[in-house]
Structure 1
């Protein structure tokens, strides 16, 4: 089929690459170049870079307004495919391709409708992650579902690693759905169950509460890593926690109590400690957690979260 593809981050790249080998991608719609790095250099999105590599026309749009709608309508695409574009598709664009738009969403809908499904699922401690392909409708992530897939993710994977796995499996799922739409065998069903919402994360979502159980603390760490980042306060200063795993169940520490081992810092929670191996103090670069701890003036009376 003749498609128009919309997406922006690296999570959308596997689907773009897959569809470009199987169908006629008339153009790729993505967000405009964004300033990155310390020097704030304007940089094309991952999707824009891959589209250029594949020789596909690129439409850069901050929002899908009348101008973007006219450009897309002129393509004569039969179907629109969207993966994490970062903007809403409204009428009349929603009906512009003959078969409308389908969306790859990284959750088992109707769970975690919204901007941060993987992150919110990890924070909630969900045992299953997955992907869904559904028909885009005006309501948020509420359209009929063509297919879902449960995806196995490593038990200690952070949000970026989990999303990378889901993106690859999701590309396979989208490929199957687009093929079924092309040959007329596609069937979709209404979503069933009570929806849960996955709003975009804020900096406050990354704050670790050491009074909670280790399971809850580690689940939040996984969900907010790398963005917006897990953090705590030590001696009144913000400390970002970059790498951590569940610690030794035999170590009995009070919530927020910090003890150094040869390879990590153990920080007490409401149950077993969290083992922290890499941190980033406020105003400094990333460093080994034990090295940072050794540089503290007073390590006897300092606690995380204080």
Structure 2
């Protein structure tokens, strides 16, 4: 059975899934993605990564502002597809849209549900110090990531993983689930498993969370920094100027929280210390701590806030 598919996705995380579907010969009749948004210093309209890739591959693209418009769902129903494959699309689909494909909508989610339902599961897993996460294909249902689990793969979180590195790895692992899931679907062999356990919610990252609180333990701050890297980036202030911290390393040290303990950017925390490894001064590219110190000497006793 050859499945006719619509794909819904927007960011870089979704591109490997679309590539996997196309390379395996699935008939992707249309891609839905978010409309072009203003981006960069020039605030020029930019197409989403999925939009750009779909055009490159010759797949028709639609960019509705909202699936709440009946006409948008009318068009989806008219396609008469077998299934929709959804990966970080960025819109909530109403029930009528979920019911439009014959087999409904399947969603690739970046956690082991019901842990970390919601918008930022990869960031929240790292920020909370989780040692593992996963990718799962679920049957989409009304409610936030509440559907039955159809296929699952566990992904370990390495001590040096950032949201960026973990997301890239998970996107590839998740992409590999689609051929298995769709092959099982075509032969009627997908077995839904209800989610079990108390859910936790991966709320969207708030800008206020990015500022570091040096009274927290070093290990906690390390997880926080890695979970916010590369975007939006954890930051503090040094001599009144913002300093983003992209990578640090827990270490030993004792002092007033935020105090620079040596000439190698070892910073005292509420418990232990953090050695800054990759930083980004305001208006400059990110750089190693060594390169930063060559241009901006930071004396012992300086306080970061």
Q: Provide the secondary structure at the position in 1 that maps to 2:227.
A: helix
Whether 1:276 aligns to 2:276 is yes
Question: Hey, what does 1:169 align to over in structure 2?
Answer: 173
Query: How far off is 1:291 after superposition?
Result: 5.0
Report if aligned partners of 2:4, 2:81 keep a CA contact under 8 Å in 1: yes
Q: TM-score, normalising length from structure 1?
A: 0.92
| 1:95-137 CA-partner distances (Å, limit 9, x unpaired) | 0001110100000000000000010111111111111111111
Report if aligned partners of 2:110, 2:134 keep a CA contact under 8 Å in 1: yes
Whether 1:33 aligns to 2:36 is yes
Change (3 A) 1:96 1:43: same
Choose which of 229, 252, 255 in structure 1 pairs with 2:257: 255
Report if aligned partners of 1:124, 1:219 keep a CA contact under 8 Å in 2: yes
Whether 1:210 aligns to 2:214 is yes
Q: Provide the secondary structure at the position in 1 that maps to 2:22.
A: helix
User: What does 1:176-195 align with in structure 2 at a 5 Å threshold?
Assistant: 176-195=180-199
User: What does 1:101-250 align with in structure 2 at a 5 Å threshold?
Assistant: 101-247=105-251, 249=252
Report if aligned partners of 1:260, 1:293 keep a CA contact under 8 Å in 2: no
Counterpart-to-counterpart distance in 2, 1:3 and 1:180: 15
Unaligned runs of 5+ in 2: none
Query: How many correspondences in the alignment?
Result: 301
Q: TM-score, normalising length from structure 2?
A: 0.92
Choose which of 39, 43, 46 in structure 2 pairs with 1:43: 46
Report if aligned partners of 1:203, 1:229 keep a CA contact under 8 Å in 2: no
Question: Hey, what does 2:65 align to over in structure 1?
Answer: 62
Name the Cα RMSD after superposition. Answer: 1.9
Unaligned runs of 5+ in 1: none
Counterpart-to-counterpart distance in 2, 1:61 and 1:104: 21
Report if aligned partners of 2:258, 2:269 keep a CA contact under 8 Å in 1: yes
Report if aligned partners of 1:81, 1:101 keep a CA contact under 8 Å in 2: yes
